[in-house]
Amino acid sequence: MPKQIRLNAFAMNCVAHQSPGLWAHPRDRALCYTSLDHWVALARLLERGKFDALFLADVLGVYDVYQGSPEAAIAQAVQVPVNDPLLLIPAMAHATRNLGFGVTCAVSYEHPYVLARRFSTLDHLTGGRIGWNIVTGYLNSAAKGIGLERQSEHDTRYEIAEEYMEVVYKLWEGSWEDGAVVRDRARRVFAQPRQVHRVRHDGRYFRLDAIHLCEPSPQRTPLLYQAGASARGRQFAATHAECVFITAPSKQVAAPLVADLRRRAAAAGRNPAEILVFAMMTVITAATSQAAQEKLEEYRSYASEEGALVLMSGWTGVDFAQYRHDEPLRHSRQQAQVSALEAFTVADPQRVWTVRDIARHAAIGGRGPVVVGAPAEVADELIAWIEETDVDGFNLAYAVMPESFVDFIALIVPELQRRGRYKRDYAPGTLREKLYGSGRARLGTDHPAARFRIGAPGGR
Amino acid sequence: MPKQIRLNAFAMNCVAHQSPGLWAHPRDRALCYTSLDHWVALARLLERGKFDALFLADVLGVYDVYQGSPEAAIAQAVQVPVNDPLLLIPAMAHATRNLGFGVTCAVSYEHPYVLARRFSTLDHLTGGRIGWNIVTGYLNSAAKGIGLERQSEHDTRYEIAEEYMEVVYKLWEGSWEDGAVVRDRARRVFAQPRQVHRVRHDGRYFRLDAIHLCEPSPQRTPLLYQAGASARGRQFAATHAECVFITAPSKQVAAPLVADLRRRAAAAGRNPAEILVFAMMTVITAATSQAAQEKLEEYRSYASEEGALVLMSGWTGVDFAQYRHDEPLRHSRQQAQVSALEAFTVADPQRVWTVRDIARHAAIGGRGPVVVGAPAEVADELIAWIEETDVDGFNLAYAVMPESFVDFIALIVPELQRRGRYKRDYAPGTLREKLYGSGRARLGTDHPAARFRIGAPGGR
């Protein structure tokens, strides 16, 4: 059987996520982000389309690198306002039975003791359908929100994240033994205290002396997502993540990233084939190729190029407002421009890119590729990504909410199913079991969390 | 019109809340606390009964004063495991239209910038039906969970809480002006940046330099609950709270507490009649007086006296395991026993209480009164509380989940409605409007939050 394509829908509890300006499109419903009905309808739609999960991004700051101010972001609702994503999940989970939920939570703003309880609660309430996207944060504005001058240095953030993971693994895997909870009404015993263990941790960044507040949930540790792009980030992902989210503008850029991730995973003693890699992508489709192109052009008439520069400036730390729009950018010119350009120019090294080119390119689908075409064309391209880059699936961003998902489910899903590339129904069990098979509700023994289990070799 | 009785249902995201041991009762469903269906059914039930709100308690630690260990708490599920309460609310809110939600969140574990976003998100998603119970925490075990040796001293905790409130008021009331968000698709302007203000705070305990991440929600500041019992706590409540939750074993104990609260509120420049005071109470009712007494006795056969001592030890800091069960406790004996006894003995100062008496008393309904009787008897007693103590309503704890609420709604609500003491339908609007009348979605100008509004007298 050919490799099955995995699909997440990619969204955020805000108005403009990856395609700034499209909120003004007459059919766009992103302005309804404060309504539970809106999110519940989206979850039901995605479940009809057999999506593996809805993946929710998050930031705890604003995009204020562009013009050194958040003004443009505020005017265009570019990822601000941004509401808490965790609070969307319970209502969506209650309205669905199989859809998974991946949610971004930074390790920078909350003690691991508290975060561990939030995810255990979500894992219980969703019946084991929760995933955690581990992020270290990238916006200085978020650090200032919690009273710091600026965020920690990049590598220090990963050092903190490593210790954070150790603490949450101890809580999730090593506090309550499997047999601890008996719920015995006749004997009037809820749990066996001898099988509930106090976690002690006295590290460089965190201290803890407590039992985990929650009994074991279906998955214990939530399904772990990560999206680190740097070498340090990829090493972290290869160590901890089960699902990795990459942003690459082309198959040529993606393939070596995937190979590097799998190499690092193997070196860490994990099964490299089981790291599921999702490439961000935006798909615009219609019944015919021409209709799809017309839809793209219509969308473009709403896209905000300034909004795109707001995002690009935030992501790269380079204020694009300092350049003229027709100014060509080159690798050689300024070090500061390199990271900003890299994503685009590696894909097409001969082309000269102006600021306007970048803005226009990023205004739909951010730094990810936009695939436009009739169902057969899109399916061809998705399969080519799978074959040529070894990714496992896609994080599908929307241009128009929820039209991009409606179109994909109506046109692309049946095409992929006909080609034997996409499931016709969900597998049973928790999110981890749906991805890895029955009996895999918990993390495998090759995962670093396993050594914190009671009685683990080399463990407590 | 006689004073209307306000009602909250009192619960917690755990197995045993105020009546330890009753989880073993064959009709009790508290073991279903990890299921969204369970909570959604409870919310729908309460809305049928026109309850003002479901009030969710929380702790972030375990009850480990008794025997110096959490073992007894774990064995009897006495408020442990305890899952995150906030994550229950979105699913319940989606299934209801009028029920309010009060939720406990401590100011000790999360930066105000992050907590402010959580509550704004909940206020948006519930359509303005969220309330926040401000607590400073009382368990040392919670402090150890986040890496501290012990919690701060009592009065310092309130000093921190005062500054915390200032920061969240600045974010909720003073960052986004009312006219800032225009959502103008034609002009492609979401918000006017000039009407969105950066909040700067450089205090003793908190620093912040950020805009609030959320656009204004229906209530902006959530409805504020507080339950401080000490003089310092009552002063905090009189300053900040709109709804105050008291625990008093009798009307004689409650009346002076209520009078003191209203006096303090008036001294703080607030309308003392608008501080809504809710007394904790457990009601056990049936068609006849005798049937209600039999129900109480049946419940008692499941009540855990050891569980009650676990709770009493945690609440008072006195390890009751050090006394024989038949040992009489007296005010004069040990200072440590005073606080533990006060609640009971003030009500009945001549009686000699043994440890067993206290355990038996607290095993149903904790430190609050238990009212047992036929509908007319219970209604008489509730009305007597309202008349004699000046409380505004009750926080109704359950003995058996959800049977206590089912019984109350079937038998007591119609009786109170017949007597003109309880609403026949909800008022329109947000939770604050339902309690205070239309046009009152936001905090009044007499509230300390008002001075942080843009253009407020004496404000920015």
Indicate if the pLDDT at residue B10 is higher than 60: yes
pLDDT of residue B348: 62
Answer with the residue of higher pLDDT: B353 or A451: A451
Q: What is the pLDDT of residue A152?
A: 78
Q: Is it the case that residue B345 has pLDDT exceeding 80?
A: no
Alpha carbon distance A244, A227 (integer Å): 6
**Closest listed residue to residue B223, CA positions, set B68, B311, B121, B101:** B101
Closest CA to B50 of B124, B122, B100, B103: B100
Closest residue of B to A304, CA-based?
A: B188
Whether A196 shows a pLDDT value over 90: the answer reads yes
Q: What mean pLDDT value characterizes chain B?
A: 93
**CB-based contact A15 B190, cutoff 8 Å:** yes
Residue A72's nearest CA partner among A296, A320, A288, A243 is: A320
Percentage of chain A exceeding pLDDT 90 = 81
What is the predicted pLDDT for the residue at B341?
55
Q: Which residues of A touch B72 (CB under 8 A)?
A: 193
**What b-and-e string marks burial along B409-427, b requiring 16 or more CB atoms within 10 Å of the CB?**
bebbbebbeeeebbbeeee
The burial class, CB within 10 Å (0-12 / 13-18 / 19+), for A377 is: middle
Mean pLDDT of chain A: 93
Around Cβ B336, how many Cβ atoms within 10 Å?
Answer: 12
On chain B, the residues whose CB falls within 8 A of the CB of A193 are 69-72, 74-75
A91 vs B contacts (CB less than 8 Å): 90-91, 93-94, 125
Report the alpha-carbon distance of residue B270 to residue B265 in Å, rounded.
Answer: 5
| Range with the largest mean pLDDT of A107-111, A205-209, B84-88 | B84-88
How far apart CA A48 and CA B451 sit, in angstroms, is: 50
- Optimal mutation site among B105, B211, B306, interface A, most CBs of chain A within 10 A: B211
Of B301, B280, B395, B309, residue with least CA distance to B28:
B301
| Close Cβ partners of B259 (under 8 Å, ≥ 6 residues apart) | B390
What Rg do the C-alpha atoms of chain B give, in angstroms? 22
CA-closest candidate to residue B303, choices B78, B101, B67: B78
Query: Is it the case that residue B24 has pLDDT exceeding 60?
Result: yes
Give chain B positions within 8 Å (CB) of A60: 113-114, 117, 213
pLDDT tops 50 at residue A8: yes
Q: Give me the pLDDT at residue B343, please.
A: 52
For residues B15 and A137, what is the distance between their CA atoms, to the nearest angstrom? Answer: 36
CB B282 within 8 A of CB B364: yes
**Which secondary structure element, helix H or strand E, spans residue A358, and what is its range?**
helix A355-362
Q: What is the pLDDT of residue A155?
A: 81
- Interface touch B87/A88, C-beta < 8 Å: no
In the 8-state DSSP scheme, what is residue A67? G
* Average pLDDT over every residue of B139-157: 79
Chain B CB contacts of A109 below 8 Å: 110-111, 114
With 90 as the cut, is the pLDDT of residue B334 above it?
A: no
Of B373, B377, B343, which Cα lies nearest the Cα of B357? B343
- For residue A336, name the pLDDT band (cuts at 50, 70, 90): very low
pLDDT at B339 > cutoff 60: no
| CA–CA separation, B381 and B396 (whole Å) | 14
pLDDT above 60: residue A278: yes
Taking an 8 Å cut-off on Cβ atoms, the answer to whether B191 and A74 are in contact is: yes
In this complex, the residue of B94, B113, B214 whose CB is nearest that of residue A145 is B113
Q: What is the pLDDT of residue A459?
A: 52
CB–CB of A197/A215 below 8 Å? no
Distance of CA B362 to the CA centre of its chain: 18
Q: Are A309 and A66 in contact (CB under 8 A)?
A: yes
Nearest CA distance, B435 vs chain A (angstrom): 23
Read off the pTM: 0.96
Q: How far apart are CA B257 and CA A250, in angstroms?
A: 69
Residue B183 three-state SS: strand
pLDDT digits (tens, 9 = 90+) for A164-175: 999 999 999 999
- Cβ contacts from A onto B, under 8 A: 225
Judged against a pLDDT cut of 50, whether residue B163 lies above it is answered with: yes
Structure confidence at residue B221 (pLDDT): 98
Query: Are B23 and A185 within 8 A, CB to CB?
Result: yes
Test mutation, A58, A125, A197, chain B, max B CBs within 10 A: A125
- Among B12, B28, B99, B121, most A C-beta atoms within 10 A, so best to mutate, is B121
Query: How confident is the model over A12-36, as pLDDT tens digits?
Result: 999 999 999 999 999 999 999 999 9
Better-predicted residue by pLDDT, B458 or B197:
B197
Using alpha carbons, select from B217, B207, B11 the residue that is nearest to residue B118: B217
Weakest mean pLDDT among B132-141, B257-266, B425-434: B132-141
For residue B287, the tally of other CB atoms under 10 A from its CB is: 12
Max Cα distance, chain A (Å): 78
CA separation for the pair A382, A366 (Å, rounded) = 18
Best mutation target, A215, A299, A306, to test chain B (most B CBs within 10 A): A215
d(CA A114, nearest CA chain B) in Å = 8
Angle between helices B355-362 and B305-316 in degrees, nearest 10: 100
Pairing of strands A130-135, A100-106: parallel
Residue B458 has pLDDT above 70, yes or no: no
How confident is the model at residue B60, as a pLDDT?
Answer: 92
- Give pLDDT, residue B424: 98
Range with the poorest average pLDDT among A293-302, A349-358, B41-50, B228-237? A349-358
> What ipTM does this complex have?
0.96
B187/B312 Cα distance (integer angstroms)? 61
pLDDT at B2: 87
Average pLDDT over residues A273-278: 97
User: What's the average model confidence in pLDDT over B82-107?
Assistant: 97
Q: What is the pLDDT of residue A136?
A: 86
Residue A349 scores a pLDDT above 80: no
Residue-wise pLDDT tens digits, A233-267: 999 999 999 999 999 989 999 999 999 999 999 99
Which of B62, B77, B217 shows the shortest C-beta gap to A211? B62
Q: DSSP state, B118?
A: H
The answer to whether the CB atoms of B87 and A83 lie below 8 A apart is no
Chain A, nearest residue to B193 by Cα: A71
Which neighbouring-strand residues pair with B102?
B55, B131
The tens digit of pLDDT for each residue in B204-239 reads 999 999 999 999 999 999 999 999 778 899 999 999
Q: How far is A109 from chain B (nearest CA, A)?
A: 8
Counting other chains too, the contacts that B424-432 makes at CB distance below 8 Å and 24 or more residues apart are: B424/B50, B425/B50, B426/B50, B426/B98, B429/B128, B430/B127, B430/B128, B430/B129, B430/B218, B430/B219, B431/B52, B431/B53, B431/B100, B431/B101, B431/B128, B431/B129, B431/B130, B431/B131, B431/B219, B431/B223, B432/B128, B432/B219, B432/B223, B432/B242
